[in-house]
Structure 1
């Protein structure tokens, strides 16, 4: 059965299931407000809050054509979250694993999403680095200036392109209109052996046609204060040898319909773990990025908006900051990648019920090796460049029976050719009930080093890597039990083809990337939310299975066909808040991770690495938050993370001989912030 035939059969299934939605009564009217206080949302306001991450058109969570989670400012601040990991771990289907060299990345619904499969954005700016397409987590992105986070638990390639294959995370920071003043925060965390200070400051305002915001943050800490033991049994204590230090500046300016955005992000790490064996000493790695955007929303009429914009990205990721010694010489890496991306899109409201979004995009990427001593690219040069042209379109049509969204994106890359990502979705909101039926195709575009190292791996010195293709079917249903209580469930089936994986060829004695066949997962996610005057409780349970789907050996657990390496099949999260007074709240959060499987040590014959089961673990946190203490705008908080002092490890979700990488022991946290209003 060829590719086109398979797509037709999937679409036939989608249209058949669509008939189920037509049995549901007509959609009720939803009242929207222009501004919402995200620190005092009722459940109704939360569900009706407009988001755009799934369609680039403002829609409510229930209407949005994706499985979407929204984390509000209230939930972030009351939970006492230390960084982005603490927030995302409370979202269904998301967990984290270790890559190499101390890097921690994300998994989505059981699938390893670290290398270019999950897109992270800050204020719609693409944060994935451009060499290997990775995003590094842990003491990296400050949470103190976040307005809310929009998360697609599923594909977004038809809108965003090749990093949005399995999910999209868009962090929306506070605008000048949100701030209207000055906000400063200081925090310190303390474990048995280390401290983790954080500082941030934000300034913003809006007057008439002009709006600005400037935020800056600094974070420092250790990945862990425990001992790391590699697969050979060698060990070292990670205190002061797993440092994580980040500095970020985010500036936004807007005058009428013209907006500018500038982000500087510098993430510094230290590590000794490398790949399988530990190094003779700890080394520094830097990940620096500069991002800029200029955008103009030209409102040609009440119904037509034309948006030209241009983005600039410069990365210097995985940079070694000191000369390695002895057997550690292979560490040297110092390369810069730049990307320039002009973009033109138009949004047309043909009527109140029909909207069309269409656009064109072009980018050119250039990689540069700083020193010839470091080596060359596969074509024996110290510079390499690629370009890509994209066209996309999306139509949203609302009827009394069902809302329909149809979209498509085509990418045409100078090296690996074309990639195609259509999607179709049906959403229905009726009184207390909502439903979604979604079918998407997505792709993961190879990054510069994926292409480069593929050429070395295949032995021809010419790359033959292709984009990873994904097909996803999702069905969601939700029921509002009362105005303060809702339950939502979804089922999904994710199929990856031409899966891009990292591997090592012993015959050629080289590492690289290749297309390894089929992978994916299927499962379900269940959420329950209640929001009352006494506070709120958000609970979720997620489950996946890779049985009869995953054929990639790098991800397999030999003793359990339904599980993927490193990621728990069962996960439970709880995020709750109890208002003791109007200003004082107690906020417990909990994450339960079911059994996981990890590479732990070599067997007795030193021929293979043993894969062992890691017992379930419960991460319990408790945070006390007091607002407006002594004076308006002064907030304090204190609490403990990992109260039970569990030995949580980040596990490598693919087969590359990296032992489990320890996380922190119990940490006590204290935080103080002050908001000075200009009004």
Structure 2
């Protein structure tokens, strides 16, 4: 594969479906879309989907959670990846009860042909979860692989991975399979007693583990089959287990020794999720003007989440549950020649089949926890029925209308059922070397099952929580020049985010902790510049936002907490010759407000080292700007179908911190490197 074969013009001509439900060129999509090609993924050498999104897509920012691997888009985030939708070949990967897919090692990057990132509300097509954006992963085909490929990588901090893929196309049957396995011991950071955010820190220093993935490895395996370009089948089994770096419960953010916490069902502290995904779909061309698409599917998700709640007694709680869902999707597309109409109906039924909590301390599991005789999560099922309509047509020769609306009706287990209407309308003006898009869209996300039915006192939710709503206006001009070797894009947006679910700290014991009361209005700009010349590509990807109004959200009048107002990436790719190519990237993360508030039951905790080490109460804490640099080198061995790689993340071993849904910013990883080899048989 020629890693520099896909030009700017070719990227704009890529056919996508995730933006409006219609097959259309990227340049004709109704809103801002970023395409991450296979060559861009290979060139970058990044570890995870989170790394990839924060490298190539404006406004994606890495954020820290206590025990989950997380990322934010346009300043909207929570404790897990629950505010944007991740798809595989158009199929939802986000779970139902917890609404997450996890952008970690459970989603392998090697299997990907391209990624379509719809930046902005996507509920008019995709419904629930598509609040801020949609990330649609398109897997490779057997025809493009045409054989067997094996690769391995290993690096410092015990990082190791193994990947295989196999595919081909014979007699109109295309098959592609993949398998990836990843483990990492994690980077161990020494935390001294005076630097521990604990009222009773350990007498001796304790090691915190950063980006550890072990005790139940991460993996992603799957198979796709396509028959005669009409029938398609997918099976995908994946798992991710992220080691929590500090304590999660009690006075969270304390240092603990992972060796003093027993394995619970083989799992060490941190969130672990295991998924199965299946679908069978058929595209039936009824005639030249009518197409019928039918898909049936089944998914399951198994959650295990041991968390440390007391660093002194090594007390822990393991929360686990299992769920499955099945559904049907039907679409009918009619082509009027001068216009296109898409009608669809979706049905999904979800059931929580098991829920349990186990407690222990000092290396001993003491037994299960019940809440008034009930499990940690109510058992039962929920269903959602959706109908939608999408329409597009040219108004004038260069002006096109692209609009749609979706209606979602959800039957909840208990409490108030929901009914949501998600409209979208866009105008596109194509002037050849310049394109202008103006769009309005509304989206929603239903609060996760966990927030509505958890029995934990610290997570008391309400079965009547309303969906969170996002309304967005976007204007996207795009310019091509220098014979389409250069591209300049600006995306300007106005977001109105309402009914935000947040924790009410003053709630009485008989009141829910989670309520709908937050509001956030922002405006922002996302500039992008790409220049290709000969065998070199230069990219600038930036973002800036400003708050217009904020209530009941982790923000003040000027800053969304832990989100930089300014951020940009500079990415330079070069193919030196037919043997060696490399990518060098520089990431600038602007200063960000990250308040420090160490408290227990809303009472500030006293600092045992008031004159040294860290401070416990710093409401105006600001994190300084951070520069991070990465490099990836690929060497094609002459006369062999083999590539050797070398990657360095955070080249200068920059020490930096990042906050999120945590009580103080956590230290992030330093310099990581890995060597790899890939061979095609």
Please give the range of the TM-score, normalised by the shorter of the 2 chains. 0.7 to 0.9
- Closer, same or farther: CA 485–458 of 1 in aligned 2, 3 Å: closer
Residue range with higher mean Cα deviation, 664-673 or 326-335: 326-335
The structural deviation recorded for 1:239 is 4.0
Length-normalised TM-score, structure 2: 0.86
SS in 1 for 2:439: strand
Distance in 2 between residues matched to 1:443 and 1:378, nearest whole Å: 34
The structural deviation recorded for 1:167 is 0.7
The structural deviation recorded for 1:218 is 0.7
- Closer, same or farther: CA 641–458 of 1 in aligned 2, 3 Å: closer
- Contact kept in structure 1, 2:247 and 2:256, CA below 8 Å: no
Residue range with higher mean Cα deviation, 298-307 or 641-650: 641-650
SS in 2 for 1:564: coil
Residue range with higher mean Cα deviation, 589-598 or 380-389: 380-389
The structural deviation recorded for 1:179 is 0.9
Corresponding residue for 2:594? 598
Corresponding residue for 2:618? 610
Corresponding residue for 2:391? 395
Superposed CA offset, 1:77-125 (max 9, x none):
1122222222111121001212222x12111112216452111122223
Corresponding residue for 1:365? 350
- Closer, same or farther: CA 446–601 of 1 in aligned 2, 3 Å: closer
- Closer, same or farther: CA 99–392 of 1 in aligned 2, 3 Å: same
Length-normalised TM-score, structure 1: 0.86
SS in 1 for 2:466: coil
- Contact kept in structure 2, 1:144 and 1:185, CA below 8 Å: no
- The match for 2:235 among 262, 270, 278 is 262
Superposed CA offset, 1:256-279 (max 9, x none):
211110110111233243142437
- Which segments of 5 or more consecutive residues in structure 2 lack a partner in the other structure? 259-267, 358-367, 607-615
- Contact kept in structure 2, 1:649 and 1:662, CA below 8 Å: yes
Corresponding residue for 1:33? none
- The match for 2:16 among 51, 56, 75 is 51
* Structure 1 position 274 matched with structure 2 position 259: no
Corresponding residue for 1:514? 515
* Structure 1 position 650 matched with structure 2 position 658: yes
Distance in 1 between residues matched to 2:129 and 2:665, nearest whole Å: 26
Corresponding residue for 1:85? 50
The structural deviation recorded for 1:208 is 2.7
Superposed CA offset, 1:491-540 (max 9, x none):
10111110123455563299753212312421001000011213111111
SS in 1 for 2:426: strand
- The match for 1:375 among 366, 370, 393 is 370
Distance in 2 between residues matched to 1:41 and 1:377, nearest whole Å: 61
SS in 2 for 1:88: helix
Residue range with higher mean Cα deviation, 473-482 or 399-408: 399-408
Distance in 1 between residues matched to 2:534 and 2:104, nearest whole Å: 34
The structural deviation recorded for 1:571 is 0.4
The structural deviation recorded for 1:455 is 11
- Contact kept in structure 2, 1:211 and 1:253, CA below 8 Å: yes
- Closer, same or farther: CA 298–349 of 1 in aligned 2, 3 Å: same
Distance in 1 between residues matched to 2:336 and 2:5, nearest whole Å: 36
Distance in 2 between residues matched to 1:150 and 1:454, nearest whole Å: 38
* Structure 1 position 344 matched with structure 2 position 330: yes
The structural deviation recorded for 1:348 is 1.2
Distance in 2 between residues matched to 1:75 and 1:365, nearest whole Å: 36
- Contact kept in structure 2, 1:390 and 1:412, CA below 8 Å: yes
- Closer, same or farther: CA 178–321 of 1 in aligned 2, 3 Å: farther
Distance in 2 between residues matched to 1:288 and 1:338, nearest whole Å: 12
Distance in 1 between residues matched to 2:190 and 2:104, nearest whole Å: 18
The structural deviation recorded for 1:411 is 0.6
Distance in 2 between residues matched to 1:518 and 1:240, nearest whole Å: 33
The structural deviation recorded for 1:626 is 1.7
Corresponding residue for 2:218? 246
* Structure 1 position 625 matched with structure 2 position 634: yes
Superposed CA offset, 1:418-452 (max 9, x none):
01100001112211100100100111112211221
The structural deviation recorded for 1:325 is 10
Distance in 2 between residues matched to 1:584 and 1:442, nearest whole Å: 45
* Structure 1 position 217 matched with structure 2 position 187: no
SS in 2 for 1:158: helix
- Which segments of 5 or more consecutive residues in structure 1 lack a partner in the other structure? 1-35
* Structure 1 position 289 matched with structure 2 position 275: yes
The structural deviation recorded for 1:255 is 1.5
- Residue correspondences, number: 626
- Contact kept in structure 2, 1:141 and 1:246, CA below 8 Å: no
SS in 1 for 2:550: coil
- Closer, same or farther: CA 387–456 of 1 in aligned 2, 3 Å: farther
- Contact kept in structure 2, 1:454 and 1:514, CA below 8 Å: no
- Contact kept in structure 1, 2:595 and 2:618, CA below 8 Å: yes
Distance in 2 between residues matched to 1:361 and 1:129, nearest whole Å: 17
- Closer, same or farther: CA 187–462 of 1 in aligned 2, 3 Å: closer
Corresponding residue for 1:573? 569
Residue range with higher mean Cα deviation, 385-394 or 411-420: 411-420
Corresponding residue for 1:14? none
Distance in 2 between residues matched to 1:568 and 1:323, nearest whole Å: 30
Corresponding residue for 2:169? 206
Corresponding residue for 1:27? none
Residue range with higher mean Cα deviation, 37-46 or 437-446: 37-46
- Closer, same or farther: CA 332–86 of 1 in aligned 2, 3 Å: closer
Residue range with higher mean Cα deviation, 163-172 or 576-585: 576-585
